Chain A
Amino acid sequence: MNEHELRGLIGKVKAGKMSRRGFVQRMMAVGIAAPFATQLLVHSGVAMAQAKNTYKPTKRGGGGPLKVLWWQGPTLLNPHFAVGTKDQDGSRLFYEPLAAWDDEGNLSAKLAAEIPTRENGGLSADGKSVTWKLKQGVTWHDGKPFTADDAVFNWEYAKDPATASVTIGSYQDVTVEKVDQFTIVVKFAKPTPFWADAFVGTRGMLIPKHLFAEFIGAKSRDAPTNLKPVGTGPYLFREFKPGDLVTGVINPNYHQANKPYFDSIEMKGGGDAVSAARAVLQTGEFDFAWNMQVEDEILSRLEKGGKGRVQVTPGGNIEHMQLNTTDPWTEVDGERSSVKTKHPTLSDPAVRQAIALIIDNKSVEQHIYGRTGPATRDFLNNPQRYRSKDNPIDFNVDKANDILEKAGWKKGSDGIRAKDGKKLKFVYQTSINQPRQKTQAIIKQSAQKAGIDMELKSVTASVFFSSDVANPDTYTKFYCDLQMYTTTMSQPDPQLFMNQFTSWEVSTKENKWQGRNITRWRNEEYDKIFRASEGELDPVKRTAMFIKMNDMAVQNGVVIGIVQRPTVSALATKLNANISGWDNNTSDLSDWFKEA
């Protein structure tokens, strides 16, 4: 189906000749997933269908206590300082954004009265502003009304560098203006196709102006409310012990009718993932456990207890292998892997192709990750609408041998291929983590069969993922040939995610290895497409661009996807909780309930 046909169909829906459902079904028939199809309609000016509502309780409260287990407990409760997901999840019990992302990457309104669209005038035609209508009649936990002033204040608070908020990236480049008591406008300097960043999702939680106004800027750390949240959320703050416990009781004035269902919430921290899974799945002491980084085999065994189940929610996180484009073994101007060098063997496309062929994703999925790691070759996998169809998993050692042979890499007496005196010997590093070491072993084995020698290196996670400029073993320095880790995609829009291959993001000594392009791959065409996608307002075209960028990175052997890393949670059998891979685990907390 080409762009033209697609537009024809959208036109029919608009004219009322075709139902929304019919459109979605047609799309699915040609391989376009439902969420993408609905998104197409939104951007083309068709109102979004109401999000599926599965909430059953007919009155507020009465559900008893909700006990959830985060094996790393929240350590602070100001959403603008919340670095890790644990802190954001904890803050989300009390604070809410204007809109949240659902599991398919669609927006649902929280403190907004409606989601801005072209239809309702929320989105401007030039893509330079968004008008948010705020929900009226919402009060903060202390009884003060929630208004546009609060929203504007959050922008001022977060964008001030002296506040040192971690949300600054979402607010510093926009301007926010109050239109009336319940309307704000977010303005962008240039056309911005992805407008739903400020005030949305993990970085959009709003704090009350009347309690934080005095603590803007350098005084931000002294605000007493940092530790005693006063928000608009479904639960009122009760108690907080960093790293251990957050508790709350039902908010009797919550702005959504009949919600929440539970009378109180207790978020316990500490311990390890396996025993957390045990407490939900096997003994039933807790109702929910977060981030089950546990081997699927163990999870399945625990599930047999019948007290709970495992829920896997797709997201964009991807365990992938990076192939260095620079030479990690030569030092130039005080840095290895310098962009002034070229990798001695990996610069041959045949070698890259061969490496892709010896990665047995299916075995990695089957024997190591199970449900918690679906195999993929793509770098950009989700939301579904951005997934390329052109990179099937091709594991074929014979073909790899063939390609290398043809390219002139001949096996030596030691079984390792070489050409012009350069051997196919690679150092392959990752962090210390059992599944990763197992994956390394699987790949090393098939590499051997193709005449490629891989020296496995594993670095303590705290060193590998650190940004310590003095340490040569960090992943951003990439002082070896191949490396593997999971990169996270925190928003359903791939813009930020795909900047990992742009030439201006290259990680170098100059930027203290803080650039996001770790493979140091540089490609003019890629840069051009990326720049274009930043301003492209046509969602269909923009989607095609992202797919193209993914294909370029994957097909040029810059990165090779290994497995996706979806969000895995453990739920008590009766608990009904919508988890989104694009937002906090607790983003939909007001709608959690237990089946009778």
Chain B
Amino acid sequence: MSRQYIIRKILIMIPSLLGISLVLFTVLAMAPGDPFEELATNPAIPPEVRAALRAKFGLDDPVWTRYLHWLVAMIQGDWGFSFVSRMDVDKLILQRLPVTLIVIGSSQIIAILVALPVGVLAATRPYSLFDQVANTLAFVGFSLPTFFTGLLFILVFSIQLDWLPFVYRANIDATGWQFYWEHIKQSIMPVMVLGLFQGASLVRFVRSSVLDVIKLDYVTTARSKGIGERKVITKHVVRNALIPVVTLVALQLPIVFGGAIVTEQIFRVPGIGSLLISSMLSNDTPVVMAVTFVIACLVVFFNLLADIIYGWLDPRISYR
């Protein structure tokens, strides 16, 4: 893999990001709705106020001037100003980021921790009882949408058993162990819902990937050399089987930053996802634009990263 390759890839990123931002901006500009709509329905507010606000935030300019303004500001590091909260968009996003990273990040970790051993074990004993059970559960897991499992969890663990709270509170008035315990308690349900959903599809992926590798000649060779089964699996099979899995995980990472809209809404997790949805509902375009654009950047970036990791893990693949 050459340095040139990476540079070329990065250069390609620029026009694609520009294209993405242009599409996002025009779609948002054309979408119905007005951030100051509530003002229009309120009789106590004269229409001039709304007109003044629209003018102040430049909403009456043509779309392309607004886009250029936005682009120039964005390049200078100014992410925009929220119409609804009247504060800088980057501040809003930074407020939400820690919770998103913790909740979604730990759900990804859970997903990997569950999927790896289960997938590998299922593949080494294909069509055994364990494989069947794991497969069935995986199917159930990724067939059930998170809003369903989320509600189910709430019904069982919060309402019937009364073990866990279902409203996530970012400010916990406790210190020391109590603080961590409360945080873990309220995170269990959202993390589990997301983790199991992602884990389920990952299990299937790991399993098929291991199955592909386990049949290869070099594995038979390793076995015939008298290497123990456990060592064959961990050192020879899993290492190679994981190459596609690693790229898959890398491609999923932007989700960690983007949050999980549905799950965040159900458990009231104040993450990026819930910020995005509430901004959409209130037509707060600068926030929607910033969040979607950041996610787009991350997707492009992690794509590049996946490419690079892939080449690094598997030297057979060369780039020119």
Contact = CB atoms under 8 A, between A and B. Distances in A.
Interface stretch (A334-342, A458-466, A532-540): A458-466
A58 B208 CA distance: 70
B265 A270 contact: yes
A512 B54 CA distance: 14
Interface string A262-295: 0010101111100100110011011000000000
A491 B44 contact: yes
B59 to A, nearest CB: 12
Contacts of B36: 83
B43 A462 contact: no
Contacts of A462: 32-33, 281, 283
Given A462-B283, A463-B32, A467-B34, A275 B166 contact: yes
Interface in B1-51: 32-34, 36-50
Contact of A164 (B49, B158, B265, B267): B49
Of listed A65, A285, A476, A496, residue having the most chain B CB within 10 A: A285
B274 interface: yes
A162 B52 CA distance: 8
A285 B37 contact: no
A465 B36 CA distance: 11
B61 interface: no
B48 A243 contact: no
A306 interface: no
Contacts of A283: 158-159, 162, 165-166
Contact of B86 (A81, A247, A264, A471): A81
A474 to B, nearest CB: 9
Interface in A481-501: 488, 490-491, 496-497, 499-500
Contacts of A226: 86-87
B288 to A, nearest CB: 13
A218 B56 CA distance: 9
B173 A490 contact: no
A279 B167 contact: yes
Interface string B146-172: 000000001000110010011101110
Given A242-B87, A465-B41, A491-B44, A161 B34 contact: no
Contacts of A500: 43
Of listed A166, A168, A226, A471, residue having the most chain B CB within 10 A: A166
Contacts of B44: 169-170, 203, 490-491, 496
B282 interface: yes
Interface size class of A (residues with CB under 8 A): 35 or more
B143 interface: no
B40 A514 contact: yes
B49 to A, nearest CB: 5
B53 interface: yes
Contacts of B234: none
A245 interface: yes
Contacts of A69: 167
Given A84-B38, A166-B39, A514 B166 contact: no
Contacts of A496: 43-44
A272 B85 CA distance: 20
Given A241-B270, A268-B169, A270-B265, A75 B84 contact: yes
Interface residues of B, number: 53
B159 A271 contact: no
Interface string A98-127: 000000000000000000000000000000
B52 A164 contact: yes
Contacts of A268: 167, 169, 268
B102 interface: no
Contacts of A149: none
B166 to A, nearest CB: 7
A81 B87 CA distance: 12
B112 interface: no
A390 interface: no
Interface in B204-233: none
Contacts of A75: 82, 84-85, 278, 282
B45 A168 contact: yes
Contact of A83 (B39, B173, B275): B39
A468 interface: yes
A266 B275 contact: no
Given A75-B84, A496-B43, A83 B167 contact: no
B255 interface: no
Interface in A141-172: 161-162, 164-166, 168-170, 172
A221 B173 CA distance: 31
Contacts of B169: 245, 266, 268
Contacts of A272: 265
A519 interface: no
A113 to B, nearest CB: 26
Nearest to B84: A75
A285 B189 CA distance: 16
A371 interface: no
A72 interface: yes
B303 to A, nearest CB: 31
Contacts of B274: 243-244, 270
B79 interface: no
A83 B38 contact: yes
A500 B42 CA distance: 12
Contacts of A491: 44
Interface of B: 32-34, 36-50, 52-53, 56, 81-82, 84-87, 92, 95-96, 154, 158-159, 162, 165-167, 169-171, 173, 264-268, 270, 274-275, 278, 281-283
Given A83-B38, A245-B171, 10 more contacts: A75-B278, A76-B87, A226-B86, A242-B87, A269-B268, A270-B278, A272-B265, A275-B266, A278-B166, A465-B37
Q: Which 9 pairs, one residue from A and one from B, show the smallest C-beta to C-beta distance? A: A244-B270, A467-B40, A242-B85, A270-B268, A271-B268, A75-B85, A514-B47, A83-B38, A169-B44
22 contacts: A75-B282, A83-B36, A83-B42, A161-B48, A166-B39, A166-B42, A166-B45, A166-B49, A169-B45, A242-B92, A245-B169, A245-B170, A245-B270, A264-B173, A266-B169, A270-B278, A278-B154, A283-B158, A285-B167, A466-B32, A468-B34, A490-B43
